[in-house]
């Protein structure tokens, strides 16, 4: 099997194809050291959101990395209300009102210490707000020079096609991993349209026997095989695994060097 491409173009920049998701850094013993270590290990794409720690995640990234290395691209998101999930609640309430998206983007700029955010993503569609209105707010933010590129998260194909009628879309971030491929057709659309696909929850391996078997053969962790599978699944994919533990970070970033054979990839393919 040929090696997957080492970099990917996202938001007008070439970055390494294994990024870092910052959702869990608030739980790290030393979050500043964790973020800095991710960059040392080659993470050039760092994904965060305004609701991670109610803004604490963005502040920690700024404290850890400013002045930002030239090769590092910071992406953040807005569109959920902050809070904690209640029993039986699958997601936080959405708020995609244009005026709120503009306000939380300004707050993210201040916390991150940036004049312009390279990639700003609508965290989720708001069923109470016309989708075009939410996208329109991001277009206005871009026209004002506050963001450079627009991304989407937790969307379907219809959302992407609607958004593309209004503006270029740089990225789509949906849940996708070896055990959850519900966004397969979204990934296909992204690959067709030149949109980077950012799988969240990329290493939720569960009791995946195929991953475990390939990992044993390769002398690797199942989580590393899950990431290597994603890297080989499509050149449009940029995985962004997150962790609060330095040991897991080291393992995750090492997955970029794990080469799976054609036979191993075939065994990891979905059953027909």
Residues marked as catalytic: 52
What are the backbone angles phi and psi of residue 130, rounded to the nearest 5°?
-55, 130
**Rounded Cα distance, 194 and 156, in Å:** 16
Neighbours of 48 (CB within 10 A): 27
Of residues 16, 124, 111, the one with CA closest to residue 73: 16
Task: Say which residues have a Cβ less than 8 Å from residue 9's Cβ, sequence separation at least 6.
Answer: 196
Nearest to 225 by CA among 258, 269, 181, 267: 258
Please give the Cα distance from 29 to 211 (Å, whole number). Answer: 30
Unique residue bearing structure tokens 């970099």: 7
Say whether 248 sits in a helix, a strand or coil: helix
Determine if the peptide bond prior to 146 is cis (ω within 30°): no
Q: Are 28 and 56 in contact (CB under 8 A)?
A: no
Q: 102-126: buried (b, 16+ CB within 10 Å) or exposed (e) per residue?
A: bebbeebbebbbbeebbbbbbbbbb
At residue 120, what are phi and psi to the nearest 5 degrees? -115, 125
């Amino acid at each position: 099997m040929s090696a997957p491409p080492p970099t990917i173009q996202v938001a007008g920049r070439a970055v390494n194809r294994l990024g870092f998701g910052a959702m869990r850094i608030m739980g790290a013993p030393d979050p500043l050291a964790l973020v800095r270590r991710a960059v040392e290990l080659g993470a050039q794409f760092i994904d965060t959101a305004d609701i991670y720690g109610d803004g604490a995640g963005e502040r920690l990234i700024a404290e850890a990395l400013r002045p930002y290395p030239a090769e590092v691209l910071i992406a953040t998101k807005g569109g959920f209300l902050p809070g904690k999930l209640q029993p039986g609640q699958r997601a936080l309430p959405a708020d995609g009102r244009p005026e709120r998206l503009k306000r939380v983007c300004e707050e993210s700029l201040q916390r991150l210490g940036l004049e312009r955010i390279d990639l700003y993503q609508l965290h989720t569609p708001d069923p109470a707000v016309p989708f075009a209105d939410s996208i329109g707010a991001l277009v206005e933010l871009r026209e004002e020079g506050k963001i450079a590129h627009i991304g989407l998260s937790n969307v379907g194909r219809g959302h992407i096609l609607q958004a593309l009628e209004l503006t270029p879309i740089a990225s789509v971030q949906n849940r996708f991993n070896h055990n959850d491929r519900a966004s397969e057709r979204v990934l296909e659309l992204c690959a067709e349209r030149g949109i980077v696909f950012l799988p969240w929850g990329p290493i939720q391996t569960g009791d995946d026997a195929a991953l475990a078997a390939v990992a044993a053969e390769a002398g690797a962790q199942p989580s590393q095989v899950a990431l290597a599978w994603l890297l080989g699944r499509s050149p449009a994919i940029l995985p962004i695994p997150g962790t609060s533990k330095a040991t897991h970070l080291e393992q995750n970033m090492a997955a970029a060097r794990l080469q799976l054979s054609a036979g191993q990839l075939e065994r990891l393919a979905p059953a027909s």
